Amino acid sequence: MSPHHSAPEPRSTHMCAAHVETLVEAFLVCSAESTVAFTIRLSYTCSDPYAATVRFPTVDDRRAPTTWTFARSLLEEGQRVTSGEGDVKVIPCGPDYTGLELRSRAGRALILLSARDLRGFIEETYRKVPAGSEHQLLDINDHVSRLLGDTR
């Protein structure tokens, strides 16, 4: 008599209401002597559990705010050591600031964020969704369907 093997049960869709959002004072570094202060919105949601989003304000009401999304682990690592390559780098800048260097075809920007506020944001995201548990929140079937254009 052979053992009965059944197909694995489909993973249940995890419901998650984790959302973290905070406003952080930021400084655009224009030169060694000049910065411009503004406020950014940092956000995290479990629907994209590996990512954090930075939303920059617009100076023109006719344009949508600029949004950059990247790995939340990059923000966490960049508080201790320079992290990232390519378009986004996070750079520790002493005890009070963390630098966010953004590059695009249009140019490069260095933005200083309060290290304390950034640390508080990151800690809250990890309280909501601990490191290593992100994969439990992914709906792989949904992601594959969207990639393949399945509109079921």
Confidence of residue 129 (pLDDT cuts 50, 70, 90): confident
Confidence of residue 39 (pLDDT cuts 50, 70, 90): very high
Element (H, E) at 25: strand 19-31
73: in domain: yes
Compute and round to an integer the Cα radius of gyration of the chain.
Answer: 19
Q: What is the pLDDT of residue 11?
A: 39
142: in domain: yes
* Statement: residue 56 has pLDDT above 70: yes
Give the count of beta carbons closer than 10 Å to the beta carbon of residue 118: 23
112: in domain: yes
The total number of structural domains that make up the chain = 1
Question: Which CATH number is 113's domain given?
Answer: 2.30.31.20
3: in domain: no
Secondary structure (DSSP) of 36-99 = EEEEEEEEEETTSTTEEEEEE--SSTTSPPEEEEEEHHHHHHTTTS-B--TTEEEEEETTTEEE
52: in domain: yes
**By the 8 A CB rule, do 29 and 50 touch?**
no
102: in domain: yes
Give the count of beta carbons closer than 10 Å to the beta carbon of residue 71: 15
Q: Mean of the pLDDT values across residues 22-35? A: 93
116 vs 144: CA distance, rounded Å: 38
The domain in which residue 119 lies consists of: 19-147
33: in domain: yes
Q: What is the pLDDT of residue 151?
A: 57
6: in domain: no
* Statement: residue 66 has pLDDT above 70: yes
Q: What is the pLDDT of residue 146?
A: 59
60 vs 135: CA distance, rounded Å: 39
Confidence of residue 131 (pLDDT cuts 50, 70, 90): low
**By the 8 A CB rule, do 29 and 21 touch?**
no
